[in-house]
Structure 1
């Protein structure tokens, strides 16, 4: 009897972050690509991302940069309306400013590579509809992918089945911070980065404050966080933390951030059927 060994699949994931675009590829269990390109470079020259993708030989599947996500969809089938939903920006000029995402999706669509758009948290049937009311950002597609990594981590760390995985995930990015609830191996709720103060993002705006601002634009979401409060826009979170030891304004910024994250963690804990399930 001849044993047939399945060919190892080659897969690529692309994460369009606020500071950098990250590219991570596997051939079977072997890491064959792990690199980043500054987001500013991607905006100026989207072709850089395509050129890097083309360096991967025999690529079987790519998880394309998905933004706010869509129900699982082949990139080849994307319409301009779909691209709008991944960006959630109205003006074409504004769309170009969103990390080059729209333009790169159009370029990927023209490539022969099999690529898919993955969902955001709001698209998941495991999240009850009543939790989705008046919500858009419950966690973007990259936050969802991080939760999947968290589930695998619990499986390996505690030697448990996927359905025994229960935890709250805090994902801290350069611009945005998100908090997700995972119960019985499924994402059941999420608080997206536009609702929690981040290193860059302001988080949820008080309704009366939003009224006084009057004209709120997408750019308002990307500022007003720790960096804005501290007055240091080009420093890393680590550098800001060091400054907080001697600078009261920076210390206030960090306290505001930690308070926002804490409230989100305690708030989302109410979504679990039993809090005792949480392992950490």
Structure 2
């Protein structure tokens, strides 16, 4: 029996899902406050779930399949992307470095997953001057959607081409799958306007407001724009998805994210996306209530541990992930 755990270190919570031979047998949600007060809370919970064959650890911006025992301080910098002078501020995922370090040194079988920028399926020219092509949790959401798409159509992963739109508690993201591979993305601060984030930055604005802090990346979104927010949010989503579709045609769009369940945001998403393809709410695994990213991460952990979802891992080419988040920077 293969027992694995998927995690999602979101802005609003850390979600965990335990699978045994592909079936949901445990799930939990830890608040940022709990993790900040007690970095060992995560390890304690996981020990209560033993035996575990593999844990897809909270990976932030991602690493190319790095084991917990091999994690270095440089790896932590890559995953968190917080300048030394900004650490400890009230933005992003609170206490991320502390509890990831505790997990990595726990002796538990932890593996940190790649982000889009690490995957060979995204061409190098799309990575130029780019860090965020979908963080590791967005790759996990894509995995969940790919599993659902192939199952619903009764087809091989190689026959799946679609988009995934996730409305997170801070950021919005769009991931593009072509023939079972993640090939493009517009996410985070280079993606559509989010609930809290302003999405794509104007370089002149960044220059004028510099020096920027991490907190600056969590401003300028729908909730900050007042009466202009809904129209800006909807149109930004349309522009990004339509632009990606012009490069990689698709006819199905999976909608994910806890905030996609909010009636006002769901209505804006429908208005933006329905003209561009068949809009499909991304369903959860049977019995799962945690966030989609934790579910997708569990599927990837199962596949990496030799379970039922090995084909999913192979389709997304996780074994060939490589490089760092900084490799695409030029100049």
Quickly name the TM-score band, shorter chain normalised.
0.7 to 0.9
Equivalences for residues 255-270 of structure 1 within 5 A: 255-270=231-246
Partner of 1:32: helix, strand, or coil?
strand
Matched, 1:127 2:103: no
Decide which of 223, 227, 235 is 1:227's aligned counterpart.
Answer: 223
Matches of 1:119 and 1:156, distance apart in 2: 24
Matched, 1:271 2:266: no
Provide the residue aligned with 2:177 in structure 1: 182
Matches of 1:41 and 1:227, distance apart in 2: 26
Matched, 1:29 2:22: yes
Q: Structure 2 stretches of 5 or more lacking a match?
A: 253-277, 279-331
TM-score, length basis structure 2: 0.72
Partner of 1:25: helix, strand, or coil?
strand
The 1:85/1:65 distance shift into structure 2, 3 A limit, reads same
Matches of 2:46 and 2:88, distance apart in 1: 22
Decide which of 62, 67, 75 is 1:82's aligned counterpart.
Answer: 75
CA contact (8 A) 2:189 2:201 kept: no
Provide the residue aligned with 1:235 in structure 2: none
Measure how far apart 1:228 and its partner are.
2.0
The RMSD of aligned alpha carbons is: 1.5
Deviates more, 1:253-262 or 1:63-72: 253-262
Higher relative contact order (CA 8 A, sep 6+): 2
Looking at CA atoms only, which structure, 1 or 2, has the larger radius of gyration? 1
CA contact (8 A) 2:55 2:109 kept: yes
What does the per-residue CA deviation read over 1:155-174, in whole Å, with 9 as the maximum and x for residues that have no partner? Answer: 11111110000001101111
Measure how far apart 1:92 and its partner are.
6.3
The 1:33/1:92 distance shift into structure 2, 3 A limit, reads farther
TM-score, length basis structure 1: 0.85
